[in-house]
Amino acid sequence: MIAAPVLRANVQVSGDLVRIGDVIDNAGSAAQIAIYRAPDLGTTGSLPVAQVLNTLRAHQVIGVDTRDLKEISVTRLARTLEGKDIELQIARALERRNGLGDAANLSLTFDRDPGDVRLDAGFTGGMQAAIVRYDNRNGRFDITFEIANENGAAAAKLRFTGTAIETVEAAVLARNVERNEILKSSDVVVERRPKAEAGADAAARDRAVGMQARRQLRAGQAIRTADLAKPDLVQRDQNVTLIYEAPGLYLTMRGKALENGTEGDVVNVMNLQSKRTVSGTVTGRGQVSITVRRRPARAADQRRHLLARRATTPRPLPSPPSVRQSLQKPSNVNVSHPVSTASFSPAPCCRWPPSPAVVPRSTVSPRSAKSRS
């Protein structure tokens, strides 16, 4: 026995056509006959039951059990790709291409807002980047994605164009700041700015607060490291405390700064007591330290001291060989016999220089005396 066709109250279709088998149960051989165009993707439409019955009779489908329905609803199933997911996929496709950074740091602007994209429910595949083009000169991109269909149909293609710019977190001024003004916490906010605008030396917020502006800065301007300097702890013409430090000595006195200086700077200060100008290192707010170091002895002073010590030190007694060397034969004495030194052995208590040596009388033979006479 053939069951009677029964009308459905709610109909769901995944394609762009509504067939007889979609609106009634037990449609038999007429199930694949298309009778209506489906609603737009992801939307729902309604059909009066009387209109549906007339359409079915035209295709020889009669005796339909309507179950006292007045209308039926038809919903077209769809896969929805949200705009934020599309943007994320494009950023990932452009990541680290032609000098770009991480996907999280890319800011995209589309030529036409993609919004949410709906596809037939059969396109269940992932978004695969088939074509990726990017020009780093103007930031333009052109990307085409392909999405596979589980029913074997041709893959869906989605193309997106626009510009991509790499951004960084930058410290931005909330108000105008004058030169030499100290930045407070309320003066600096964090925003994402194009990397080219912030520059390679973009200042972090925690490092900007408490620093001093080198020049006048405007509200909304990204702060760079070169725009900031350590705050001056000493101002020109400011009364400061001069601190003299030396081993075992610590003195403080009043001074007048002759120039500005931050911590670690060497500045000139006038001593208000002596009216002399001295140089010192800025160590704190209104404080300049002068460290006095003991001057090392010069080489000339060391030599003079050594000579003085040698002059006051007693010289040792000469050794016997020195005594013998002092008893050399005088050059103007003409003697025929060598001088005897046997009787001149130095005694342990002798003084220097020794007493003159006594030359013994020479023995002259009678022949020699006669010849002399």
Number of separate domains in the chain: 3
pLDDT digits (tens, 9 = 90+) for 205-242: 888 898 889 899 999 889 988 898 888 888 888 888 88
Judged against a pLDDT cut of 80, whether residue 126 lies above it is answered with yes
Do 157 and 25 lie in one domain? The reply is no
Confidence category of residue 198, pLDDT binned at 50, 70, 90: confident
Which CATH number does the domain housing residue 126 bear? Answer: 3.90.1210.10
Judged against a pLDDT cut of 50, whether residue 350 lies above it is answered with no
Cα distances (Å, whole numbers) of residue 7 to 1, 4, 256, 364: 19, 10, 102, 179
Only one residue has tokens 């403080």, namely: 252
Do 72 and 97 lie in one domain? The reply is no
Do 86 and 211 lie in one domain? The reply is yes
Do 42 and 112 lie in one domain? The reply is no
What does the pLDDT read at residue 130?
A: 95
Residues in Cβ contact with 43 at an 8 Å cutoff, skipping those fewer than 6 apart: 75, 76
State which of 76, 107, 126 marks the end of a domain. Answer: 76
State which of 231, 263, 280 marks the end of a domain. Answer: 231
Give the structural domain span for 271: 239-291
Do 71 and 83 lie in one domain? The reply is no
**Is residue 334, in this structure, part of any structural domain at all?**
no
Average pLDDT over residues 297-305: 64
Averaged confidence pLDDT in the chain: 82
Judged against a pLDDT cut of 60, whether residue 142 lies above it is answered with yes
Judged against a pLDDT cut of 60, whether residue 161 lies above it is answered with yes
What is the rounded CA–CA span in Å between residue 73 and residue 46?
Answer: 4
DSSP state of 151: T
Confidence category of residue 311, pLDDT binned at 50, 70, 90: low
DSSP states of 36-72: EE--STT-EEEEEHHHHHHHHHHTT----B-TT-SEE
Q: Which of 10-24, 37-51, 91-105, 241-255 has the lowest mean pLDDT?
A: 241-255
Q: What amino acid is encoded at 18 in this protein?
A: V
Do 67 and 142 lie in one domain? The reply is no
Judged against a pLDDT cut of 70, whether residue 358 lies above it is answered with no
State which of 29, 49, 76 marks the end of a domain. Answer: 76
**Is residue 171, in this structure, part of any structural domain at all?**
yes
pTM reported for the whole predicted model: 0.56
**Is residue 271, in this structure, part of any structural domain at all?**
yes
Share of the chain above pLDDT 90, in %: 40
Closest listed residue to residue 72, CA positions, set 16, 22, 28, 3: 22
DSSP state of 243: E
What does the pLDDT read at residue 297?
A: 52
